[in-house]
Amino acid sequence: MKTLVEFIWEQQSISSQATGEFSRLLNDIGIAAKIVNRDVNRAGLAGVLGLEGTTNVQGENQKKLDVLANNEFIKALRNGKQCAGIISEENDEVVVFDETTTRNAKYIVAIDPLDGSSNIEVNVPIGTIFAIYRRKSVGSSITMEDVLQAGTELVCGGYIIYGSSTMMVYTTGNGVNGFTYDPTCGIFILSHENMKIKDPGNIYSINEANYIYFPEGVKRYIKYCQEDDPSTGRPYTTRYIGSLISDFHRNLLRGGIYIYPGTKKNPAGKLRLLYECIPMAFIAEQAGAKASDGFRRILDIKPEHIHQRTPLFIGSKSMVEKAEEFMATYSPEFQEVYEKSEKK
Ligand code: AHG
Ligand code: MN
Ligand code: MN
């Protein structure tokens, strides 16, 4: 049995340049995850269900657990001193840590402290998504160049899923590994080594209630998924939880595609580039899967602002490629619509 802490230090020892700072940062995330896991597990008893009474920068109602999880991760990362600041779904601006203690900190973290907030009260899996970037401005103050890096610059992408069991899954660009939390001894243990997605899978995940707003390419792809063609395993089956992490995690283990498209009404879709789509796309690629906005590779998109949204097509490579084919054939005009939407 290998614990998360052992695994992190073992990986560090392989690299000749490693100084231990990244390992400490990842450990800090693991510690905050345990605290949030405890709060999520006891949510119905601990008086932390329901609304906080505030809204975030995107105008979404903040739940008490959104705020609590955000505070726990900020606290752990601030105390750990390995990162100079964070970008969080729950904070309008970049949270810059005390410069006197983090001037030389090498990292910046982007985080969705609680993903799937609408599922908090109903005992459905929720999670935390994080992305770790190397800072460009070590030795001085944080700059926008530090926080607006493309996914190709990512050092680490990961998530913690608080589900029927709690797991941490992450990659540093060297394969994807999953660690299951053992609540009896309070440690994450390596349970899913070098995860690879099944291709093709037979699951498609999309909020079909938005069907009338979807681009023609997405509508046609959904119909393609529903056609009877045993030679390609169709009709596929549909599964949609409404927490990106849970839908992605299931598709990663079983094989499938998750789509949250941009529409004429919401050209950039709903999901956020920096702390939802980029880390998931990095994990997907490392597991042999694919992530795009229907036209462009997610990791190649250069962010223009910290809460930028993007359409997302993610999952088994051949399934994403098929969906892209439908977009190119039936909705080519959306390529420009998607690109323009990110300037806003
Ligand atoms: P968050 O809870 O962090 O705001 O994210 C919610 C996101 C994502 O997790 C999920 O896949 C998507 O919203 C669901 O949206 P719909 O309810 O529109 O399907
Ligand atoms: Mn989210
Ligand atoms: Mn969230």
Mutate to test the pocket of ligand 1, among 270, 307, 310 (most ligand atoms within 8 A of CB): 270
29 exposed, middle or buried (CB, 10 Å; 0-12, 13-18, 19+)? buried
Q: Who's near 125: CB < 8 A, 6+ residues apart?
A: 116, 119, 161, 162, 163, 164, 241, 243, 245, 246, 249
Statement: residue 17 has pLDDT above 80: no
User: Domain 4-192 - what CATH class?
Assistant: alpha beta
- The more confident residue out of 159 and 103 is 159
Statement: residue 36 has pLDDT above 70: yes
Whether 240 lines ligand 1, by a CB cut-off of 6 Å, is no
CA atoms within 13 A on the CB side of 146: 25
Q: Pick from 309, 274, 244, 316: which is nearest to 149 by CA?
A: 274
The region, left, alpha or beta by phi > 0 then psi within -120 to 50, assigned to residue 20 is left
Q: Which atom of ligand 1 is nearest to the CA of 89?
A: 3
How far is 246 from 332, CA to CA, in rounded Å? 30
Share of the chain above pLDDT 90, in %: 80
Tell me, yes or no, if the two domains 4-192 and 203-342 fold the same way. no
The region, left, alpha or beta by phi > 0 then psi within -120 to 50, assigned to residue 54 is beta
Statement: residue 60 has pLDDT above 90: no
Before 200, cis peptide (omega within 30)?
Answer: yes
Whether 243 lines ligand 1, by a CB cut-off of 6 Å, is yes
Whether 205 lines ligand 1, by a CB cut-off of 6 Å, is no
CA 20–ligand 2 middle distance (angstroms)? 30
How far is 156 from 293, CA to CA, in rounded Å? 21
Digit-coded pLDDT (tens) for 263-294: 988 999 999 999 999 999 999 999 999 999 99
Q: Which two tokens stand for residue 98?
A: 């005390």
Question: Closest-lying ligand to the alpha carbon of 275?
Answer: 2
Digit-coded pLDDT (tens) for 159-199: 999 999 999 999 999 999 999 999 999 999 999 999 999 99
- Which residue CA neighbors atom 11 of ligand 1 most closely? 244
Digit-coded pLDDT (tens) for 232-260: 999 999 999 999 999 999 999 999 999 99
Whether 90 lines ligand 1, by a CB cut-off of 6 Å, is no
Q: Pick from 303, 158, 326, 163: which is nearest to 246 by CA?
A: 163
CA 14–ligand 1 middle distance (angstroms)? 37
How far is 168 from 158, CA to CA, in rounded Å? 7
Statement: residue 344 has pLDDT above 70: no
Chain mean pLDDT for the chain: 94
Statement: residue 339 has pLDDT above 90: no
Share of the chain above pLDDT 70, in %: 98
Statement: residue 15 has pLDDT above 80: no
Q: Write down the pLDDT at residue 14.
A: 76
Fold observed for domain 203-342: D-Maltodextrin-Binding Protein; domain 2 (3.40.190)
Q: Who's near 133: CB < 8 A, 6+ residues apart?
A: 107, 108, 109, 110, 146, 147, 149, 153, 154, 155
Q: Who's near 245: CB < 8 A, 6+ residues apart?
A: 115, 116, 125, 126, 127, 128, 129, 159, 161
Yes or no: say if 220 and 228 are a contact pair by the CB < 8 Å rule.
no
CA 110–ligand 3 middle distance (angstroms)? 12
Statement: residue 342 has pLDDT above 90: no
Domain range annotation of the chain: 4-192, 203-342
